[in-house]
Amino acid sequence: MATMHNPTTPQTAYILRLADNALILGQRLAEMCGHAPEMELDMALTNFSLDLIGQASLLYEHVLEREDLAPNVDALAMTRNLEEYRNCLLVAQPNANFAHIILRQYLFSTFQKYQYQALLGSNDKKLAAIAEKSLKEISYHIRFAQSWVLRLGDGTEESHEYMEDALECLWRYTGELFEKDEILAAVIDSGLSGDYTQEYKTWEAEVTAILSEAGGLTPPETLRMLVGGHAGKHDENLGHILKDLQYMQLKYPGLQW
Amino acid sequence: MVATVSVSDNHLRSQIFDLLCQVPDPEIPVVNIVELGIVRDVLADPQQVIITPTYTGCPATHFITQMIREKLDENGFDKMEIKNQLSPAWTTDWITPEAKVKLKAYGIDPPAMSADKHAQACCPRCNSTNTKLISEFGSTPCKALYSCKDCLEPFDRFKCH
């Protein structure tokens, strides 16, 4: 197996986190290829998957430009141990049903917009360019997911119930998105990213307004948000994703498309 | 900067541009990568072709780089480097008016300028704007699927991006 190193600077660790978020959600959405409720939705979800994996690929390349963590991008993306992936827990949550998929996308993409806007003034120009490019794609993801949150939440009694269940299940992962841990604090101090954690209330107001418009959906009272992904402490879902994601690279190391 | 570009440099640049105009988009072969705005610049010193991806995950990106490489090598420009530049991010506003005409003739409604992005889709077959969106996401990242309510044909629209 390829020699792998852990990031030695908070900057690289942070970019790796951005890359892992995009890769893992991209992989989750790719699972929907051929399985969405309609052909048009199938194309939309796989288009998002393509965008996210494209973003991940640029970010992994950039990680390797900053630090020599792995022999190549594929090895970095697909052969690390589970606890070395630093994505948030939300992106690994399963495709339980279409309501879950749409709400996960809506919560993540609205957050990702704030996170990437904070990179536009980064002292890392390459990272700022990746963010600028990605934000154009993120705006499609938000528009699509938001229209479906509204349609399902404000649809039939049954579709509303599905959305309620999705919200009940996924809301507890949103605290981690704006978590200011040591790595993010150092990254903000160094000028690599702006402090988007200050936008948490703005994000929350934006999202709860749409939820409320969606047939009066309300986020559940959550005493404790679930966190851990940023520190490599994942729930069982990531393991299931990696089983598929890593299969080819582990079976045939160095395999190229 | 312009003052330092010698006549021979200009000659080299126009030679390379001519070659790049022979490289078609792999998905939409009626248009080339120069008129799509993918080629951003050609530098003489250092010798570089600067390109930009349309969408981050577009599978055609790698293929386009390979096709440029082959075209340059075949014509003896093997020293010419290909450099990917992300910023400013690609926009459909860079597609030339000539290419938009070709897209339409090929059956794809060309993108509106971003200032006019809410313009109604126009059927490339009968020119009707009595059209409806079927799917915001189509067969490639850059296209959406529409249908014409007059001639009833479905068609692709190049998304304003």
Q: What is the ipTM of this complex?
A: 0.85
In a domain, B2, yes or no: no
In a domain, B142, yes or no: yes
Cβ–Cβ contact A171 with B under 8 A: no
B141: pLDDT confidence band, cut at 50, 70 and 90?
Answer: confident
* Residues 6+ positions from A231 with CB-CB distance below 8 Å: A86, A181
Q: How does pLDDT run across B33-83, given as a tens digit for each residue?
A: 999 999 999 999 999 999 999 998 888 888 999 999 999 999 999 999 999
The residue out of B90, B114, B147 marking a domain boundary is: B90
Q: Are residues B49 and B101 in the same domain?
A: no
H/E segment holding residue B88: none
Q: Are residues B117 and B132 in the same domain?
A: yes
pLDDT score of B117: 85
For residue B146, the distance in angstroms to the closest alpha carbon of chain A comes to 11
H/E segment holding residue B84: strand B81-84
Just give the CATH number of A10-251.
1.20.1260.10
CA B5, B10, B12, B13 dihedral sign is positive
Q: Are residues B26 and B86 in the same domain?
A: yes
Flag if B135 and A43 touch (Cβ within 8 Å): yes
The residue out of B90, B111, B139 marking a domain boundary is: B90
The residue out of B38, B63, B90 marking a domain boundary is: B90
Contact map slice: A 90-149 vs B, CB within 8 A? 125-126, 128-130, 132-134, 136-137, 140, 143-144
Q: How does pLDDT run across A231-243, given as a tens digit for each residue?
A: 999 999 999 999 9
Flag if B89 and A136 touch (Cβ within 8 Å): yes
A103: pLDDT confidence band, cut at 50, 70 and 90?
Answer: very high
Q: Are residues B103 and B83 in the same domain?
A: no
Flag if B137 and A54 touch (Cβ within 8 Å): no
Q: Are residues B25 and B77 in the same domain?
A: yes
H/E segment holding residue B54: none
Q: Which residues of A touch B154 (CB under 8 A)?
A: none
Q: What is the mean pLDDT of residues B108-126?
A: 93
| A9-14: long-range contacts, CB 8 A cutoff, minimum separation 24 | A9/A66, A9/A67, A10/A182, A10/A183, A10/A186, A10/A187, A10/A190, A11/A66, A11/A124, A11/A186, A11/A187, A11/A190, A11/A192, A12/A63, A12/A66, A12/A67, A12/A69, A13/A86, A13/A183, A14/A183, A14/A184, A14/A187, A14/A192, A14/A193
Task: Please state the domain count of chain B.
Answer: 2
In a domain, B4, yes or no: no
Q: Are residues B23 and B69 in the same domain?
A: yes
A198: pLDDT confidence band, cut at 50, 70 and 90?
Answer: very high
Per-domain boundaries in chain A: 10-251
Q: How does pLDDT run across B80-93, given as a tens digit for each residue?
A: 999 999 999 999 99
The boundaries of the domain holding residue B72 are 10-90
3-state secondary structure (DSSP) of residue A240: helix
Q: Are residues B78 and B127 in the same domain?
A: no
In a domain, B70, yes or no: yes
Flag if B86 and A133 touch (Cβ within 8 Å): yes
Cβ–Cβ contact A192 with B under 8 A: no
| Residue A46 amino acid letter | T
Q: Are residues B14 and B86 in the same domain?
A: yes
Alpha helix stretches (DSSP H) within chain B: 7-20, 60-74, 97-106
The CATH number covering residue B78 comes to: 3.30.300.130
Q: Are residues B20 and B70 in the same domain?
A: yes
pLDDT score of A5: 87
Q: How does pLDDT run across A80-96, given as a tens digit for each residue?
A: 999 999 999 999 999 99
Q: Are residues B83 and B112 in the same domain?
A: no
Q: What mean pLDDT is reported for chain B? A: 93
In a domain, B3, yes or no: no
Cα–Cα separations (whole angstroms), residue A148 to A101, A145, A208, B78, B145: 10, 5, 15, 50, 18
What length is written for chain A? 257
Q: How does pLDDT run across A137-191, given as a tens digit for each residue?
A: 999 999 999 999 999 999 999 999 999 999 999 999 999 999 999 999 999 999 9
Flag if B137 and A40 touch (Cβ within 8 Å): yes
What is the CB-side half-sphere exposure of residue A98 using CA atoms within 13 A? 17
Q: What is the mean pLDDT of residues A17-32?
A: 98
Q: Are residues B44 and B108 in the same domain?
A: no
Percentage of residues of chain A with pLDDT beyond 70:
99
Q: Are residues B99 and B40 in the same domain?
A: no
